[in-house]
Amino acid sequence: MAIKIGVLAKQVIDPEMPMAAFRIDESSKKVVPPNIPPVVNGFDENAVEAALLIKDAQEATVTVISTGTEFALDVMKKPLSMGADELVLLQDDIFENTIDSFLTAQLLVAAIRKLGGFDLIICGRQASDWDNAQVPLGVAELLGMASISLGKKVDVIGGKVRVERIIPDGYEVVEASLPSLVTVSNELGQPRYPTLRGIMAATRKKPTIWSSADLDLDSSQSSSRITLRDLFVPVSDQDCEIIEGEDPADSGRLLALRLREDKVI
């Protein structure tokens, strides 16, 4: 039987944008979207890749689910052009305050249930906007399933998921019975590039778009868990002393002398 894989992916402001372009609107406590297109969160592209690697080896379907207020369709179709089968977009103004992971996880769980559940859910370790690293583990907790985080290799063998997960001094191999949730990190490796055939297929595919009204939510659990009080850009007051010799080699020599002189070494 085909393994049903769900991938949670988020559209984010391109984290590679020039730092000078990073600005915050103080009154709305929001990052001002830069004049460049958004991207699929990098770790979530790793999650798509992990799902497709499983699909390369055995029969599997890959459904990508995303939450947001507004989607750039050509951006969010990238996982489809890489080889995913379906795209489900949960589009609602409720996601304006995505720092509240509880709300996001609840809506994702409702959508996952409406889709009939998955054998394996794969997510990026964290999103490059709020760096919260909570939604995947929250989804696992709400669904009562095992979660294995920081995977760099994910295999499905005999009804179990087997994950090489990163630990500070190496990695450990962890197993769990399906259904389970796994988060992956950049160590998984470069996500594949979309093929021309993939891009053509993705163009023809229509995403399923649901709002919170389409989902079965427990209203008793809808109160907020986290409030954003302030958002600001930290100021660095560091004055850098540029050590300048006659040439770069001389600068290197003078640097050593200065570090000694200032008792840094």
State how beta strands 170-177 and 160-167 pair: antiparallel
> By CB under 8 A, is residue 243 in contact with other proteins?
yes
* 28 in contact with other proteins (CB under 8 A): no
Exactly one of 2, 57, 200, 228 binds other proteins (CB under 8 A); which one? 228
Min. distance of Cβ 196 from other proteins in angstroms? 26
Among 75, 115, 176, 217, binds other proteins (CB under 8 A): 176
Q: Which of 113, 197, 205, 225 binds other proteins (CB under 8 A)?
A: 225
Q: Looking at 51-59, 66-74, 168-176, 207-215, which segment touches other proteins (CB under 8 A)?
A: 168-176
Give the span between the Cα atoms of 257 and 57, in whole angstroms.
58
Enumerate residues 32-61 that contact other proteins by CB under 8 A: none
Tell me how far apart the alpha carbons of residues 102 and 47 are, in angstroms, rounded to a whole number.
Answer: 21
Hey, which residues between 179 and 218 contact other proteins (CB under 8 A)? 180, 185-187, 190
89/109 with CB nearer other proteins: 109
Asked if 219 interacts with other proteins (CB under 8 A), we say: no
Closest CA to 24 of 223, 232, 240: 232
Residue 192 to residue 137: CA distance in whole angstroms: 26
Q: What whole-number distance in Å separates Cα of residue 36 and Cα of residue 176?
A: 41
**Shortest Cβ 218–other proteins spacing (Å):** 11
Nearest CA-CA partner of 54 in 188, 177, 176: 188
Q: Report the length, in residues, of the chain.
A: 265
**Which 118-157 positions form the footprint of other proteins (CB under 8 A)?**
125-126, 128-134, 137-138, 140-142, 145-149, 152
Candidate segments 51-59, 71-79, 81-89, 250-258, binder of other proteins by CB under 8 A: 250-258
Please report, as residue ranges, which positions from 68 to 127 form the binding site for other proteins (by CB under 8 A). Answer: 99-102, 105, 125-126
State how far the Cα of 65 lies from the Cα of 45, in Å rounded to an integer: 12
* Token code pair at residue 64: 């990508």
Q: Which is nearer to other proteins, 31 or 53 (CB)?
A: 31
Of 46 and 198, nearer to other proteins (C-beta) is 46
Q: Which one, 213 or 264, has the nearer CB to other proteins?
A: 264
Rounded-to-integer distance, Cα 22 and Cα 37, Å: 14
Amino acid in position 244 = E
Separation of alpha carbons 88 and 71, rounded Å: 11
Kindly state whether residue 257 participates in binding other proteins, applying the rule CB under 8 A. yes
Residue 22 touches other proteins, criterion: CB under 8 A: yes
Q: What are the DSSP calls for 83-134, one per residue? A: T-SEEEEEE-GGGGGTT-HHHHHHHHHHHHHHTT--SEEEEES--TTT----
